[in-house]
A and B are shown apart, each in its own frame.
Chain A
Amino acid sequence: MKATNSGDRRESTTAARNEIELALLARIAKRDAAAMKELYLLYHRRLARFLTRLTSRYDLAEEIINDTCWIVWQRAIDFRGESLVSTWILGITYRRALKTLRSIGPAAQEEIDVPDAASEQPCEQAELNEWLGVALARLPLEQRMVLELAYHLGHSCEEIAAIMDCPVNTVKTRMFHGRRKLRGLLLALASPA
């Protein structure tokens, strides 16, 4: 019963937040700069953290946020509420981030040999603290995005499917392989060469 109550609570909080954001979008559609500022500041902190982790560069993160919000400004009038406002905004952010990250290309990285058995072992806190950023950066982009959206931003599997515009099973599979590879990378990075 406890789980159901927490699920209900999450749904009602999400619905209330969505109502506020819908009202802001309606004002933005009428070119209300104050509403744009309110929505911008609501999202800036979490998008900046999410994108700075992904890109390792605040200037790129800021550029993606402003590209996203610029599209929100232009397209607020077309938003029909088919999804949550947050899913819509994150979907735009995701596409802009993919485009930016693909345009700058992957950073040159040393190959790490990850033994199969390593990915079955649980991660320890010390490994996480020291190597998480490095290991995440070595994951395939889509797998990393799923992990960041689920764990960093707290989105559900269905919300992530809507954000990434893919089936729910694809999200589950990316999560499965992403976690498996991450565990292997953390153990390989933490082990002395």
Chain B
Amino acid sequence: MDRHPPITNPHDEAAHSIPWLVNGTLHGEAATSLREHLAVCSRCRESYESEKRLYETMRAEGPLVFAGEPSFQKLMARIEIAERAPSMDPAYEALRGDRARSSPRRNPSRTAIAIRWLAAAVLIESAGLGLLAWHQHSPSLASPARYETLASPARTYGTNARARVVFRSNLSLHDLANVLHGVDAHIIDGPTDANVYTLGFDDQVSSPDQLEARLAALRAQSAVLFVEPASTHGAP
């Protein structure tokens, strides 16, 4: 299909050039020569008029309006997550692969050392957390498992961590629950007239960085159209 058809006469030449005259990108000698041909050839003129109708129909703006802001928030959340933990983003890995093929590696020995240090740090941290968990929970090992029922007392959540969120309008209850479980959040107020919900987070969210990480995770969800941190005072 990509074989270029031989151009043997002015009509064929016109047939190949008309689209570029129609979209305003044919200039100079080629445009002048085509205009001269169109002035004397009714068949090509008819083809030009038909092409112009096609161009104008395709160019016409439809009724859809696309909001860039929520999509941009998702992009920034993705950038933030990828730059904190690059190996989690497959596109980042593909890009790293391209770069590795097209440019020499930088300081491989320094990278290897950093990875070893990181691995050692993770092992030490895991051992420390294990000890802490054993120390805190060992007296209750014999006690029955904890279940939450509808009659259980309500859990308490961090008093400072709040977010205002707008969910996609056709979100199912199941998907909403998944979003909330994914970031350990609960709806504490809303929806407002503008369908804004206020979310509270668990007690683990005690610093601005932790809150920002949860907000970033929310922004990365396709079910979430808008997220911003909220003050703990006042309405959502």
Contacts and interface: CB of A to CB of B under 8 A. Distances in A.
B96 to A, nearest CB: 9
Contacts of A170: 2, 4
A7 B58 contact: no
B15 A176 contact: yes
Prevailing SS type, chain A contact patch: helix
Prevailing SS type, chain B contact patch: helix
A44 B68 contact: yes
Given A44-B66, A44-B68, A49-B66, A122 B46 contact: yes
Contacts of B222: 59
B57 interface: yes
Contact of B28 (A4, A58, A70, A73): A4
Interface string B1-23: 11111000000000110011011
Interface in B23-74: 23-28, 31-32, 35, 46-47, 49-51, 53-55, 57-59, 61-62, 64, 66, 68-69, 71-72, 74
Contacts of A173: 1-5
A45 B103 CA distance: 34
A172 B4 contact: yes
A66 B5 CA distance: 38
B129 interface: no
Contacts of A37: 72
29 contacts: A3-B32, A3-B35, A4-B28, A10-B24, A10-B25, A40-B68, A40-B75, A41-B68, A45-B66, A48-B68, A49-B66, A62-B74, A69-B75, A70-B78, A70-B91, A71-B95, A123-B50, A128-B53, A132-B57, A142-B2, A150-B23, A154-B23, A154-B59, A159-B25, A169-B4, A170-B4, A176-B16, A177-B1, A179-B51
5 A-B pairs with the lowest CB-CB distances in the bound complex, closest first:
A122-B50, A7-B27, A156-B25, A44-B68, A48-B66
